[in-house]
Amino acid sequence: MSIREDILLNTDKRLFYISNDIDNETMGKMCFNLLYLLQEDDNKEAKEKDFKREPIKIYINSYGGSVYDMWSLIDIILNAKSPIYTYCTGYAMSAAFQIFLAGSKRFATKHSTFMYHQMSCWRQGKYQDLVEDREQMDSLQKTIEEYVIDRTELTKADLDDIRERKKDFFINPQNALKWGIINEIL
């Protein structure tokens, strides 16, 4: 059995567990190991005529973190040939919620919580630096909203309402099922 304690994964069982902040270090390790497993699947598929790709399971219990770092994992999941299922076991908030949405099938335990909100940042600098940062933030926020709309049954009007109220939008499993965020409550 191959278990890496530092990022809680078992490649033999095709299991990953994200419980840390979504940052460069966590996503770097996660992406490397996921790519390794996906490459093993590609190699087996090339050699074995009857090879069937089995699901990879990513369990998430994270408050979120960096928007930039989350996209690295999301893009790998969305482009994977192997099915990747995501499971919320506690909470998937902010950037962790976005990662959760990448799963080809998505599951939540009955006591789990999701949270969506607009991006936030702390920045200082010259006026022009702040103007450029605002333009980048607007672009990122738009990209996130388009992604959420594409992966769920939430609408632009729903997300506009959340943003205008400046609220963290908490979602229980029952509403997550209703809004197409999850496929099943476990």
Dihedral sign for Cα 93, 95, 98, 102, please.
negative
Number of structural domains the chain divides into: 1
Residue whose entry in the numeric block shows the structure tokens 């029952």: 174
Residue 110 pLDDT: 96
Angle, CA 111 vertex, CA 110 and CA 116 arms, to 5°? 105
Residue 87 to residue 18: CA distance in whole angstroms = 10
Question: Could you tell me which residues come within 8 angstroms of residue 174 by beta carbon, excluding any fewer than 6 positions away?
Answer: 185
- Please give the model's pTM, rounded to 2 decimal places: 0.88
| Cα 44 to Cα 73: distance, rounded to the nearest angstrom | 23
- Residue 100, judged by CB atoms within 10 A of its CB (0-12, 13-18, 19+), counts as buried
- DSSP, res 54: P
Q: Are 173 and 185 in contact (CB under 8 A)?
A: yes
Q: Which domain holds residue 60?
A: 3-185
Output the pLDDT for position 123.
Answer: 64
Regions of the chain where pLDDT drops below 50: 1-6
pLDDT number for residue 120? 64
Give the CATH number, domain containing residue 106: 3.90.226.10
pLDDT of residue 137: 81
123's enclosing H/E stretch is: none
pLDDT score, position 136: 80
